[in-house]
Every structure is written in C-alpha cells, then in structure tokens.
Structure 1
Amino acid sequence: MSAIFESYEREFCEFSSSIHRGVDGVKTAADATTRGRHAKAIEADVAECEALVRRMDLEARSVSDPAVKTPMLNKLRDYKSELAKLKRDAREASAKAAETDARDELLNTAERGNAAGASDGGMSGQAMETTERLARTGERIKDSRRSLLETEDLGVSILQDLQGQRETIERSREALHGADDTIGRSRKILSNMSRRAQANKFAFYGVSALLFIAILTVIVHRWSR
C-alpha cells in the first residue's frame, strides 16, 4: 500500500469524524449562530474530503503493480460511497438548521405580533395565521430535502454504474493485451515452424537428389560393363 495513499486515508477519517460531530452539533445547537457555525464547518470538511478522494484516485491509478493497485481501488470505492453519505448527512443537517431557523423566526414574529395585538383582541387570529405559515414553511423544507435526497441517490447510483463500466473496460483492455501477447507468441512459433518446414523440405530434396544420382551412377556403371 502506498504511504501517500495511507496518509490521505488518515486525513479522510479525521475530516469524516469532524463532519459527524458537526452534524450532531447542528441537531443540538440552541441558537441560530451556533447552528450556522457548525454548518460552515461541515461544508469546509466536506470540501476537504472531496479533495482527498480525488488525490486518492490519482494516487491509486498511478500505481502499475496490480497486487498493490487493486486493494487501493477497492478502498477508493468505499471512500467514495462514504463521501456520498457524508454529503447527504451534511445536506440534511443544513436543511434541518434552515428549518429550525425559519421556525424560530416565525415564532419570534408571532410573539411580537401577539404582543402588539393583545390590546385589540387579535391574539388568537395572529397565532393561528403564524401556525399555518409555520406549517407551510416546514412542508416546503421537507419537500426540498426529499428532492435533494432523491437527486443524491440518483447521482450515487449513476457514479457506481460508471465505476463498474470503467472497471469492465479496464479488464477488457487487459484481456486484449493478453490476447495480443498470445497472438505474438503464436506468430513466432508458426514462423519457426515454417522455417523448419522449409529446411526439412530442402533436406528432403537434397537427399532425393543424392539418391537419384547414386542410382543413376549404378545403372550407368552396369550398362558400361
């Protein structure tokens, strides 16, 4: 295993742990400022993970030894899947933060409106309107998050299919190289066999000529007697 690849692995694991802590921080944050800080940290860590995966990809493909390259490519596939999951968790955390911020803002607006309208008896109507607005906003956020997750799943599926097709092409290319080598060796064997056949043919013709001359000499010798 490449030492550079292993160093990229360690960094990826560190940023992955940081992203998980950030996601938990978004869920447990008590105010919008803290949620925003965690969301920005998650975004930066995801970018670092993406960069590390690209570096691991380049490092793995630069290795020529199949015994070393194949395990690296297998690990790279796992890290790509992990990156897709981290990105999905990050988007869910951001959507959750946005939903919580919107709900808090609406509640604050409702409280201010209720305080201002308490003197004219409009508290109940204002609260109902605020609740309805809050419900509509929550539904829109959920729909947006659902669409993002579906898009992410589709992207991951496409990437996995492309990865599988690329591996199939690479295996086919290696098989073609092996076939070319086999054909080359077969051509050399056939060429050697052809040369030997030619040599055997010339030897046969030579022996036949010698026999013919010997027979002719015997016949002439007998006729001369």
Structure 2
Amino acid sequence: MSQALDSEPGSELFASYESDFRLTFAEITQKIDQIPGLAAEPRKAAIRAAERAIDEVDEIIGQMAIELQNISSGSRAKLNSRLRGYRADLDRVKRDLKLSADRQELFGARAAQSRGGPPSNDEVSQDQRQQLLTGTDRLEASSQRLRDSQRLANETESIGAGILTDLRGQREQLVNSRNVLMEADTHVDKSMRTLRGMARRMITNRLITIGIVVVLIIIIVAILLGRFVRR
C-alpha cells in the first residue's frame, strides 16, 4: 500500500477519507490473505465481503477526488500523487481478489462434479441471502457517502455565503471611501479657489501700497522743490 506523506495543510474531510481508506484497505488485504485457507462456503463469504469492501474503497476514492478540487493548489499536487497511489493499490487488490475468485469458481465446479449434481436449495438460499446482505451493505455505504457529500455541499454553501457577505462589506467600504475622496476633492477645489482669491487680493493690495508710496514721494519731492524755488 502506498505510504502517506507528511500531513499537508488541506481539508479535514480529505484526511478523514484517507483514514477510512487505510482501515478498509487493511481489511481487504486481510480477507484476501485468508481466502486460500478457507473451505468452500467460508471462502465464498470472504470473497463477497472483500468485494463489498473494494466497492466501499472505490467510493471513498471517488469522494477523495471530489474533495481534492476544494483544496488549495499549493497542497493539491502532493495529495493528487497520493490519490494515484491509492488507485494503484486498489487495482492491485482487485486483481488479487479476481485470482482468488477464479480459483474458487474452479474448485467449486470440481466439487460439484465430484458430488455428482448441482448446488442444493440450501446453498442457493444462502447465496441469495448473502447477495441481499451485500446489496444492503452497499446501499448503506452509498447513503453514507451521499450524507458526506450533502454535508460538504452545506459547508461550501456556508463558506460561499460568508464570502459574499465579506464582499458586500468590502464594496460598501470602497463606496464610502470613494464618497469621502470625492468630498475631500471638493474641499480641496474650494480651498484652491480661496487661496487664488487671497493671492489676487494680496497682489492688488501690494500694488495699491506701492502707488500710495509713489504718490507720497512725488508730493514730498514737489514740496521740497517748492521751498527751494522760493529761496
């Protein structure tokens, strides 16, 4: 079985699926190892149990692949590599189980020939009961996966609603900031107009002051010239 890498930041649900995969995969390998040493009926039951476990693992891998899409790209590459390893492990145990089932079918046919007839009604009834149990187990496993998917969808919806709320708040902040900037720009324009008016008044006052000084100088010069002429 593929060795898991060190834990990467990512989804807790993905890690939970990995834990379920490892436990179920260990059960599968244990059942396959026990099959050769079992008698005919126990061997059939072990093969069916291994098939149910393989179906469950297959569904777990499917859920892991779905959850992988919700993980950040920084951690997705390593997790995707681990997922490929899990698929390879599953393919290997499928081949091992098929070999065991083929041997079971071969040995079962030989046993039936040695008994000189087809399977008994008890054997058929037991096989039907086992198939019913298998179908029930698969249905329960599928229901659990659906519940997990629904929970994931609800969590994703909640996260999406939170993101939308944050975006609306940020939009309102941006609009308020834009309004403040526009108001500040209006005040700046008024201040600039006031400063330009003050500058014009200062220039006018300076010119008036210079004119007054020039007139006073002319008057003083005229007075002085008048006194000099009288003398």
- Give the TM-score taking structure 1 as reference length: 0.45
Q: Computing the radius of gyration over CA atoms, which structure comes out larger, 1 or 2? A: 2
- Name the TM-score, length of structure 2 as normaliser: 0.44
Q: Which has the higher contact order (CA 8 A, sep 6+)?
A: 2
Query: Which protein is richer in helix relative to its size?
Result: 1
